Structure 1
Amino acid sequence: MIDEVATAVATGAAGNVIAHLLTGRADALRTRVAAVFRRGTAQQRTEALTALEHDRAALAERRESETAVAARWTDRFLTQLDAHPEARGDVEALAAGSPSRVIGAQHNHGSGVFVGGDNHGGITVTGPR
């Protein structure tokens, strides 16, 4: 039996599927959807990935509404959670949004005003005054 929290998680995951599809990030989503359905059969994984491609095209061509596509993905996730409750972590991860990436790091050395963190040490200025 699916509880209210699982329904909320499935709905959130479906919303993120839509967000990924609308922003052209279906390729990044493919791996995450496959992870949700990895406990099922190979055919179930293939069907989910095929549905992802179908829904990407349907949204891009405006053949279907976001609401209709999201409802189908909510149902898919709920069906998967009912059959494989251990998939909940994967669905929750998808519901939580895109994984964050560190693009770079900033290290400031010296004293003075730096945007982005504490600074320790001195600074030497050379050249004409």
Structure 2
Amino acid sequence: MYDAELMAVATGAAGTLVAAIAASGAEKMRLKVAHFFRRATPAQQRAATQAVDDTAAQLTSPTPETQALAATAWAQLIAQYLAEHRDALSEVDGIGVPTPPTSKVWNQHNTGTGTFIGGDVHGGMTFNYGGAPDGGR
């Protein structure tokens, strides 16, 4: 059996992870889980990846019971991993936080003369899709 502190950490992380899978989906959380379980054996890594898919399938029509069952399963999986890899304790807080999407930036610069509605046009536009504004660059 695991000590109380380890189970408390694992239970908290499991609840957060289940909520993140429900909100963000399995695709976004799969890489986060794989990164967290990177020190595990290949069998443990496969179990964690499969658990993401299983949790997502369970949560297609979530009820408090299915969420509790999924959180209990994750708590056991995380506790076992943390018992073997205590150095992963510092990373457990981030396991349930989905990675924000990367920003895609396109720049367009327009210069020209001729018949424009307001005269000559000089300037450009920046599209920052999927990320935070870059401070008016």
TM over 0.5: yes
Comparing 76-85 with 35-44, which one deviates more in the overlay?
35-44
1:71 Cα offset (Å): 1.1
What is the identity percentage for the equivalent residue pairs of Structure 1 and Structure 2?
28
Cα distance between partner residues in 2 of 1:23 and 1:13: 15
Higher relative contact order (CA 8 A, sep 6+): 1
Q: Distance in 2 between matches of 1:104 and 1:9?
A: 35
Give 4+ residue runs of structure 1 displaced > 4 Å after superposition. 61-64, 99-102
State the shift of 1:15 in Å: 1.7
Query: RMSD of the alignment, in Å?
Result: 2.5
Structure 1 runs not aligned, ≥5 long: 109-129
TM-score between the two structures when normalised by the length of structure 2: 0.64
What secondary structure, in the 3-state scheme, does the structure 1 residue paired with 2:59 have? helix
Matched residue type, 2:25: R
| C-alpha displacement of 1:88 | 1.4
Query: 1:126 is matched with which residue?
Result: none
Tell me the TM-score normalised to structure 1 length. Answer: 0.67
Alignment length, in residue pairs? 106
Q: Deviations over 1:54-101 (max 9, x none)?
A: 111011145861011011111111110001111212322225x34456
Unaligned runs of 5+ in 2: 102-130
Specify the alignment match of 1:21 in structure 2. Answer: 21
Please give the alpha-carbon distance, in whole angstroms, between the structure 2 residues aligned to 1:94 and 1:45. 14
Asked if the contact 1:38/1:45 (under 8 Å) is kept, the reply is yes
> Which has the larger strand fraction?
2
- Name the structure 1 match of 2:11: 11
Shift of 1:34: 1.0
8 Å CA contact 2:18, 2:70 repeated in 1: yes
Question: Is 1:104 the counterpart of 2:133 in the alignment?
Answer: yes
Q: Trace 1:1-129 onto structure 2 (pairs within 5 A).
A: 2-4=3-5, 6-62=6-62, 65-95=66-96, 97-99=97-99, 102-107=131-136
